[in-house]
Amino acid sequence: GAGVSQTPSNKVTEKGKYVELRCDPISGHTALYWYRQSLGQGPEFLIYFQGTGAADDSGLPNDRFFAVRPEGSVSTLKIQRTERGDSAVYLCASSSGGAGGNEQFFGPGTRLTVL
């Protein structure tokens, strides 16, 4: 079946602009996660949704970052007033539940470059 998909695969923007990154999770998965990965580092947690609500947004670095999942399926990560330090690969993952034993399925990521 279809895996997690993310669009766009690459996004180049200028400092100060607004960007939206989209994630389509595996159908039926109630849990959705956003991570970001800088070069040479492991992925860093940003936010976790269970259904439509953000159950844990402790990883969002500041109020320029916001994410929504209005119908409990597709999610959008929104970044306002982008800065060069926001350049990274943004990864989305989904899982069938929130319990500690459930594996997360990752998408291929969106590479964001802020010039």
CB of 32 to another protein, least distance (A): 11
Total binding residues toward another protein, as defined by CB under 8 A:
30
Q: Is 93 in the site for another protein (CB under 8 A)?
A: yes
C-alpha distances out from residue 103 to 17, 32, 41, 49, 53, Å: 35, 12, 21, 15, 20
Q: Which residue matches tokens 């109630």?
A: 30
Judged by beta carbon, residue 48 or residue 65, the one nearer another protein is 48
Q: How far is the CB of 29 from another protein (least distance, A)?
A: 12
Which two three-digit tokens encode residue 111? Answer: 């590479």
Short-list 31, 36, 22, CA closest to 105: 31
Chain residues that interact with another protein, rule: CB under 8 A: 4, 31, 33, 35, 40-45, 48, 55-56, 58-59, 91, 93, 95, 98-109
